[in-house]
Amino acid sequence: MKPGFLFVITAPSGCGKGTLRRALLAEQPDIKFCPSITTRPQRPGEVRGVDYIFVSVEEFIERKRSNELVEWAEVYGNFYGTPKEDLEQALEQGYVVLLEKDVQGARTLRQAYPEGIFIFILPPSFEELERRIRTRGTENDMEQRIRLDSARREIADLAGFDYVIINEDIERATDRLVAITLGERARRDLIASKVQRGARDGKLISERCDTKDRLQVHSGTCSSQTGEANRSRAARRCACDRKTSSDSDRRDMRR
Q: So what's the pLDDT on residue 208?
A: 61
Q: So what's the pLDDT on residue 116?
A: 96
Q: So what's the pLDDT on residue 204?
A: 60
From first to last of its 255 residues, the chain has per-residue pLDDT tens of 677 999 999 999 899 999 999 999 999 999 999 999 999 999 888 999 999 999 999 999 999 999 999 999 999 899 999 999 999 999 999 999 999 999 999 999 999 999 999 999 999 999 999 999 999 878 889 989 999 999 999 998 898 899 999 999 999 999 999 999 999 999 988 887 888 777 776 766 666 665 555 545 444 444 445 555 555 555 555 555 544 444 544 444 344
Question: Domain boundaries in the chain?
Answer: 5-197
Instruction: Report the CATH superfamily, name and number, of domain 5-197.
Output: P-loop containing nucleotide triphosphate hydrolases (3.40.50.300)
Region of 49 please: left (phi>0), alpha (psi -120 to 50) or beta: left
Classify burial at 139, counting beta carbons within 10 Å of its beta carbon; exposed 0-12, middle 13-18, buried 19 or more: middle
